[in-house]
Amino acid sequence: MSKNFELLQRTSSVEELFETAGNPAGLVGTAECEPRPAWSEKPEQRVVTSEALPIHLPDLIREKTSSWGQQVQKRNEERGNDLEAISREEEIKLVQRIFPAGQRSPQIVLFSAVESEAGCASICIRTAEILAGRGDGSVCVVDANLQSPCLHHYFGIDNSKGLAEAVLESLPIQDFAQKHPEANLWILPGGAAAGPMSFSGAHDRLRSRITELRGQFKYVVIHSSPLDLDSASILLSRWTDGVVMVVEADTTRRETARRMKQDLEAANVRILGVVLNNRTFSIPEALYRRL
């Protein structure tokens, strides 16, 4: 029988075997070694006694959701600012091309969408505002969309009298236009009688009013009804210096735009430009601005 087995028989418990002379088992007589913890000590007794702060899951979710929402809002604002800056640059380029400063420039220009409104009114208004901001002459923006006048809504002005009343009455054209308070800009709204009125019944009178506008203002910007929905737009365009067609990206049909172009050319109307509205960008806006 080995000495180890005899020692085990003489030991009353396993603890005594591993704690002989206060030293770890197998290392009796070594001076440098620290004692091992007793086997009776349980792992759960060794946890940190400092009390941890409780975590409330609903509060954590609200905090993360709020942070994520703020990040999304910031990205949307940055994207909106980029798109607004791009639109502003495009509008300025449009004005420079249609109304070149210091050169022989068209004086009366008609803006008309091809099939639907397609943002034509806002483009027309921004063009007039940029022209007025140049300071090289007075500008008048005219609402000739008598079927659905809307410029008075954009400017927040009275629509009790406008182009329709000017055609029906004999007062000077200035009496029907309203001065914009912050710019060298006048607005000639459609007027209260615009809805039931038709250009075809007041052909000569309308033409004389356009001639009168030419003599009163350096630039006249006309917003008309869509070319494909109202033949009056083709009639009105004959008394202008040219037309800017507004087409809606992914909406306006190519065949319709081509047919309207042919109709304008047949009427000896000059097409000054085509605006593609609401187009999408296949590349990031920040890169597009550098092109």
The residue ranking higher by pLDDT, 50 or 235, is 235
- In this prediction, residue 84 carries a pLDDT of 72
Distance (Å, rounded) from C-alpha 166 to C-alpha 143?
Answer: 12
Per-residue confidence band for 79, with pLDDT thresholds at 50, 70 and 90: low
Per-residue confidence band for 138, with pLDDT thresholds at 50, 70 and 90: very high
Contacts of residue 238, defined as CB under 8 A and 6 or more positions apart, other chains included, come to: 267, 268, 269
Residue identified by tokens 């601005």 is: 289
Domain assignment present for residue 43? The answer is no
Query: How many domains in the chain?
Result: 1
Domain assignment present for residue 20? The answer is no
Domain assignment present for residue 137? The answer is yes
Q: Positive or negative, the Cα torsion across 82, 83, 86, 92?
A: negative
Flag the least confident range among 103-107, 121-125, 216-220.
103-107
- In this prediction, residue 53 carries a pLDDT of 54
CATH number assigned to the domain comprising residue 277: 3.40.50.300
User: How far are the Cα atoms of 133, 149, 184, 188 from residue 136, in angstroms, in the given order?
Assistant: 8, 28, 9, 20
Whether this prediction's pTM lies above 0.75 is answered by no
From the CA atom positions of the chain, what is the Rg in Å? Answer: 41
pLDDT digits over 233-252, tens only?
Answer: 888 999 999 999 998 876 77
- In this prediction, residue 90 carries a pLDDT of 86
Domain assignment present for residue 250? The answer is yes
Mean model confidence pLDDT for the chain: 77
Domain assignment present for residue 273? The answer is yes
Where in the sequence is the domain holding 127, given as residue range(s)?
72-288
Domain assignment present for residue 59? The answer is no
- In this prediction, residue 8 carries a pLDDT of 46
Instruction: Tell me if residue 173 falls in helix, strand or coil.
Output: helix
